[in-house]
Amino acid sequence: MLLLKLAFRNILRQRRRTILTVLSMTGGYVLCCLSFSLTEGSYKNVIRIFTMDHTGHIQIHRDDYLQRPKVFKGIDDTPEQRQEIQSQPGVLSIAPRVFAPALAYAGSRNTPVQIVGAEPHLEKTTSRLFNKVNQGQYFNASPNADGYYSAMLGIGVAESLRIKIGDELILISQGADGSIANDIYIVTALVGTRNSWDRNKVYLPLSVAQEFLSFYGKVHQYSLLLEDENAVTRITQSLTTALPTLTVNPWMQVEATFYNSMEADKRGNRFTLLIIVFIVFI
């Protein structure tokens, strides 16, 4: 009790010093909280952008497809398989996808591209693909009056080939069975920007891409969107148990380079804040 009385007497004796000390401590605390909040908020926004853009919160593949992608490494895409995944608590939506490198032609021009086969209606609920269409119409799985299927191109592909909406696009690739895959499609939309992730992509309806690659009834990836992004680890463990023959990867593993850089940056920020707090309290 005596120590408490002495402490208050010392505080009240030099009121100006006390006020300055309180203000400096309060200001330092507020600035630290503001800095921490801005950093965490900006990273959460970046994570939300690229998980909605293409990675999803969780991806499911066969074996080591994520590290060594090959056309023949496919998952049997059955209604039962999808239902097993969709029924997991916390899974909001699922998007099956097919990927393959190809060579795209238009007239006398050509450019390397990556084919992405996707379900048009499922991508609307799992990714931002529908919102990234800046010219033309979103693709569908039905052929036009001439029997041609639609394709959506990244801006980079369209500029390299000097191609526009309504033009014909020729794709040549290797099928999953080793055969030569080639076909003609009609450009119905342009997607993204010159700097976006999908600038060199060609989007085809999933069933069309499967037929093109002789990859019937199979997909390379299931991309999952969750109700709560903080439940990624828990749901990944649950899916790993439910799907023992498949490989389940959270976005932290899919985008390992970004995640490791983000964590290192966070540790650096925390260390800097600790130094500032230490100096202020001295």
- What is the distance in angstroms between the CA of the first residue and the CA of the last residue of the chain? 26
pLDDT digits (tens, 9 = 90+) for 1-38: 667 666 666 666 777 777 777 777 777 777 777 877 77
Q: Give the residue with greater pLDDT, 27 vs 49.
A: 49
Element (H, E) at 248: strand 247-250
Q: Where are the domains of the chain?
A: 2-52+258-281, 57-251
Helix/strand/coil for 87: coil
Residue 281: what pLDDT? 63
Instruction: Report yes or no: 220 and 70 within 8 Å, Cβ to Cβ.
Output: no
Q: Give the residue with greater pLDDT, 150 vs 11.
A: 150
CA atoms 244, 245, 250, 252: torsion sign? positive
Point out the least confidently predicted range of 139-148, 199-208, 264-273: 264-273
> What does the alpha-carbon distance between residue 160 and residue 157 come to, in Å, rounded to a whole number?
5
Distances 259 to 50, 253, 271 between C-alpha atoms, Å = 12, 8, 18
Residue 29: what pLDDT? 75
Residue 87: what pLDDT? 92
pLDDT digits (tens, 9 = 90+) for 241-266: 999 999 999 999 998 888 888 888 88
Q: Which of 202, 112, 125, 109 is nearest to 163 (CA)?
A: 109
Residue 19: what pLDDT? 77
What is this structure's pTM? 0.84
Q: Give the residue with greater pLDDT, 41 vs 88.
A: 88
Residue 151 — very low, low, confident or very high, per pLDDT cuts 50/70/90? very high
pLDDT digits (tens, 9 = 90+) for 164-196: 999 999 999 999 998 999 999 999 999 988 888
- Quote the DSSP letter at residue 28: H
Residue 222: what pLDDT? 97
